[in-house]
Amino acid sequence: MRLEKYIATAGIASRRAAKRAIHEGRVTVNGTPVFVPGHPIDTNADCVAFEGKRVTSTAERLYVMLHKPAGYVTTRRDERGRPTVMDLVQDISENIYPVGRLDLETEGLLLLTNDGDFAYRLTHPSHEIPKTYLVWVDGVPSEKAVRQLREGVTIPSGKTAQATVSRLGVRADTDGTGSQFKVIIHEGKKRQVRLMFKAVGHRVVRLKRIQVGELRLGNLPPGQHRLLTPTEIACLRGTGRRGFKPRLPNT
């Protein structure tokens, strides 16, 4: 196995960070610094150390699905002392961390793992993993606005790519003044869904991620977590679909 992959698979660092560490001489193989990423590792015989600490490839890999409630920060530690998603997985002693990010007020499916390679692959833009959201907005966006959302709108971080946008109807909690949508995006720009709707003049009042790739939140209660099944892990690993074009138009 290539050295940077070995480190990433062990959950120590992303592949990119591992390569940097190798270049900087922070990785040793059998006691000797190796400066070349790609250096072959015999996983049964070689002793790899990252910044002086032994890297064990046999460490248990954990893949956790959390139903994140609103009001929890997606970070391992918050300097402002707010509740973090780590507070909800305290029974897990392994060093897991969130894969990607949901805003403070966003609810729904969040993955946590100690497998750096897996996390890197899942969040890298080139893999274009589809993410599905339920969106509750104020007002009733026009057909023109929905078309713009599907085709791409300009938000502060750039133009959004094509998205699948389905109108689900009026919001049950309003008398016709609010609407609900299902949105599938393939990128992870900051606050993307909220900013997309803002760009067409509508405020998102609630946002919930219900699916990542083929992985569904299902009826996991808010605040609860569970381990992914081997089938779900294998499925996510194979989810990347380069060049995937969402269906247009849709309902």
Can you tell me the distance from the alpha carbon of 209 to that of 231, in angstroms, rounded to the nearest whole number?
21
Can you tell me the distance from the alpha carbon of 47 to that of 55, in angstroms, rounded to the nearest whole number?
8
E strands along 114-203, which residues?
131-138, 154-155, 158-159, 164-170, 178-185
Tally of residues, the chain: 251
The alpha-carbon radius of gyration of the chain (Å, integer) is: 21
> Is there a catalytic annotation at residue 42?
no
| Total residues in contact with ligand URA, by rule CB under 6 A | 8
The span of 42-50, 112-120, 186-194, 212-220 binding ligand URA (CB under 6 A) equals 186-194
Q: Which is nearer to ligand URA, 186 or 194 (CB)?
A: 194
Q: Which is nearer to ligand URA, 19 or 68 (CB)?
A: 68
Residue 194's φ and ψ, nearest 5 degrees, are -60, -45
* Among positions 46, 78, 94, 103, the unique one binding ligand URA when judged by CB under 6 A: 103
Q: Which two tokens stand for residue 231?
A: 């089938």
DSSP conformation letters of 16-28: HHHHHHHHTT-EE
Does residue 64 touch ligand URA according to CB under 6 A?
A: no
Q: Which of 42, 78, 91, 103 is catalytic?
A: 103
Q: Which is nearer to ligand URA, 62 or 110 (CB)?
A: 110
* Among positions 28, 106, 179, 180, the unique one binding ligand URA when judged by CB under 6 A: 106
- Antiparallel, parallel or unpaired: β 107-113 and 204-212: parallel
| Distance in Å, CB of 41 to ligand URA, minimum | 37
Which residues lie near ligand URA (CB under 6 A)?
A: 102-103, 106, 191-194, 207
